[in-house]
Amino acid sequence: MIKLDIAHENFIGHLKGQDRSNSTVIAYKKDIEQLIDHLFKEGVNLVNEIETDHLESFMGALAEKNYTNKSISRKTNSTKTFFRYLHGEGHIEENAADALKHPKVTIKPPRILSRLEYGALRDASKDDIRTFAIIEMLLQTGIRISELADIAMEHVEIEHENELGTLFVPKRGRHEARTIPLNKAAIESVKRYLGEKPEVETSTHLFITKTGNPLLVRNIRATLTRYFDNAGIEGATVNDLRHTFVAHHLAQGTSLLTVSKIAGHKRISTTERYLEFIEKKTENEKAELGIL
């Protein structure tokens, strides 16, 4: 028999050993901490004492606290993952989470910026060279904000004579490594930024602060949120730049497989979901060669 807090600690170590991303580990850690706190209050201290009713009680308590179905579904997934681990390690004979059901979640369509909107975003940020380059990299490559924050100088290759370039995105957690071609818009924005980037010998990252520290995801998110507001773009987030990249390239006729590989989707079905939210462009619009 193993105590809940010890099992939780071992579970987090297990996730780290699987090379899960730091954000994923933190999310699981907090979700299971919340579950364990609820179980302690119900007098449950050992993993083999947990029954399905305890887990359903926890989910019910979350609903009473006005957690959204999406949040409860995520915590349900965390709970199921935790119990699969416990069962696999032989800490429990029966998996109490097997009977736990996800609440119904309405999946909202992705927020896809129009050309007018991302044009306004560019105009709003044009005098902030670093932010402008960040926006272009997100729009032109479809990378995740966490991937952007981790870009090292060695990951970017630009042939100045031919205006060609690539961005290497290293393996991160369960996301495989990939190389993304950089178009003219991305290259020009990065070159402009590099011309004014602070010279800090100890810094290896592309996007840094004035003192040479890597930009944190939360700081990038806060900055772009401010520029969304300045541009008058309502209801948009940083992740919507990634949605926009995928949707616009599919609309221009780029193959599903190509877009899926560039975006780093684990399954092509993830890319396919965008098709119902876009309209195919005319041949003249396709002639823009994929430049947003």
The enclosing domain of 131 has a CATH number of 1.10.443.10
- pLDDT: which is higher, 288 or 40: 40
Share of the chain above pLDDT 70, in %: 95
Tally of domains in the chain: 2
17 falls within a domain: yes
The SS3 of residue 106 is: coil
Tell me if 100 sits within 8 A of 59, measured CB to CB: yes
The SS3 of residue 165 is: strand
What's the order of all strands across the beta sheet hosting 178-182?
Answer: 156-159, 164-169, 178-182
pTM over 0.85: no
Task: Quote the DSSP letter at residue 282.
Answer: P
Do 167 and 254 fall into the same domain? yes
Do 40 and 176 fall into the same domain? no
Do 11 and 154 fall into the same domain? no
Q: Look at residue 283 and tell me whether its pLDDT is greater than 50.
A: no
Which residues does 108 contact at the CB level (< 8 Å), separation at least 6? none
Closest CA to 182 of 234, 140, 236, 242: 140
Position 240 scores a pLDDT of 96
- Mean pLDDT is lowest, of 4-13, 134-143, 158-167, for 158-167
- pLDDT: which is higher, 145 or 162: 145
Do 129 and 29 fall into the same domain? no
31 falls within a domain: yes
**pLDDT band of 47, cuts 50, 70, 90:** very high
Closest CA to 20 of 204, 146, 110: 146
Do 74 and 138 fall into the same domain? no
Question: Strand 156-159 and strand 178-182: pairing?
Answer: unpaired
Structure tokens at 254: 């780029």
Closest CA to 100 of 124, 116, 83: 83
Segment 244-272, tens digit of pLDDT: 999 999 999 999 999 999 999 989 999 99
**pLDDT band of 203, cuts 50, 70, 90:** confident
In the listed set 71, 88, 105, which residue is the last one of a domain according to the structure? 88
Q: State the average pLDDT over residues 31-39.
A: 96
Do 55 and 123 fall into the same domain? no
In the listed set 69, 88, 107, which residue is the last one of a domain according to the structure? 88
Do 231 and 143 fall into the same domain? yes
**pLDDT band of 286, cuts 50, 70, 90:** very low
Query: How far apart are the C-alpha atoms of 291 and 251, rounded to whole Å?
Result: 12
Taking CA atoms, 122 is separated from 62, 139, 153, 161, 228, in Å, by 41, 10, 24, 26, 10
Position 50 scores a pLDDT of 95
Half-sphere exposure of 281 (CA within 13 A, CB side): 18
Side chain identity, residue 11: F
Task: Quote the DSSP letter at residue 234.
Answer: T
